[in-house]
């Protein structure tokens, strides 16, 4: 062997060990593929395909309740609790059974991003309460926003769509 010399038996031993490891790895990979329960390429591609993505929005229900606003919101549950503390359904309506589903997004600093959209409304038992009910939901956001997000939560939820379902479940 001209130009290539092995220095002693230690160099030859290392080279031999590397060759054996490479050969074993290649044989192991071939054996693993041969033993795979998947028969054809389509099955193999299906196995590698990522699963369904995460939901596009964060969903929750807001019910009338007493509560206090937290000085700082650090998690998603805190957002729903803050809105529940701010929402005051129309006085004197009792249980009306009304529901409004609202889609909304927030900026990093807790302000509302864009225009909220009502995606569902259930009239309930008192049709004359629709306007006061929708106004009470608007007033809840006016009272609460900007929400006091922590820096980490603000960065995580900025621009993400939230779906809030406001449901009047108070007893009469």
Task: Find tokens 């990093």 and name the residue.
Answer: 108
Place of tokens 């290649």: 26
Same-domain pairing of 98 and 17: no
Q: 155 and 115, same structural domain?
A: yes
pLDDT digits (tens, 9 = 90+) for 27-50: 554 444 444 444 555 565 555 555
Phi first, then psi, for residue 141 (nearest 5°) are -70, -35
Does 41 share its domain with 62? no
pLDDT-based confidence at residue 155 (cuts at 50, 70, 90) = very high
Tens digits of residue pLDDT in 83-103: 888 888 887 656 677 889 999
Kindly state whether residue 37 falls inside one of the protein's structural domains. yes
Specify the residue for token string 């060990």: 17
The domain spanning residue 154 has which CATH number? 3.30.1150
Domain of 43 in residue numbering reads as 11-48
Q: Does 115 lie in the same domain as 93?
A: yes
Distance between CA 16 and CA 12 in Å, rounded? 6
Is residue 5 domain-resident? no
Q: Quick check: is 137 in a domain?
A: yes
Between β-strands 161-167 and 112-122, what pairing exists: parallel, antiparallel or unpaired?
Answer: unpaired
Q: Map residue 19 onto helix, strand or coil.
A: helix
* Rounded (to 5) percent helix, strand, coil in the chain: 40, 20, 40
Contact between residue 60 and residue 166 where contact means Cβ atoms under 8 Å apart = no
Residue 71 located in a structural domain: yes
Domain co-membership, 80 together with 113: yes
**Domain shared by 119 and 147, yes or no:** yes
Same domain for 15 and 85? Answer: no
Residues 75 and 16 reside in one and the same domain: no
Look up the pTM and report it: 0.61
Is 42 a domain residue? yes
Q: Tell me, yes or no, whether 36 and 90 share the same domain.
A: no
Closest listed residue to residue 122, CA positions, set 96, 103, 99, 93: 99
Residue 157 host element (H or E) = helix 151-157
Structural domain total, the chain: 2
């Amino acid at each position: 062997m001209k130009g290539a010399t092995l220095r002693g038996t230690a160099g030859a031993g290392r080279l031999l060990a590397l060759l054996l490891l490479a050969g074993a790895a290649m044989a192991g990979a071939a054996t693993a593929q041969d033993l795979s329960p998947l028969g054809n390429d389509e099955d193999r591609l299906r196995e590698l395909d990522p699963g369904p993505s995460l939901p596009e929005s964060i969903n929750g229900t807001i019910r009338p309740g007493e509560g206090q606003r937290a000085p700082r919101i650090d998690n998603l549950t805190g957002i729903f609790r803050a809105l529940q503390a701010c929402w005051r359904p129309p006085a004197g309506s009792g249980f009306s059974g009304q529901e409004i589903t609202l889609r909304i997004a927030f900026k990093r600093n807790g302000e509302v991003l864009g225009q909220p959209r009502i995606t569902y409304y259930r009239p309930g038992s008192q049709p004359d309460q629709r306007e006061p009910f929708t106004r009470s939901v608007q007033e809840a956001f006016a009272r609460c926003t900007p929400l006091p997000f922590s820096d980490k939560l603000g960065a995580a939820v900025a621009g993400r769509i939230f779906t809030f379902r406001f449901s009047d479940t108070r007893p009469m």
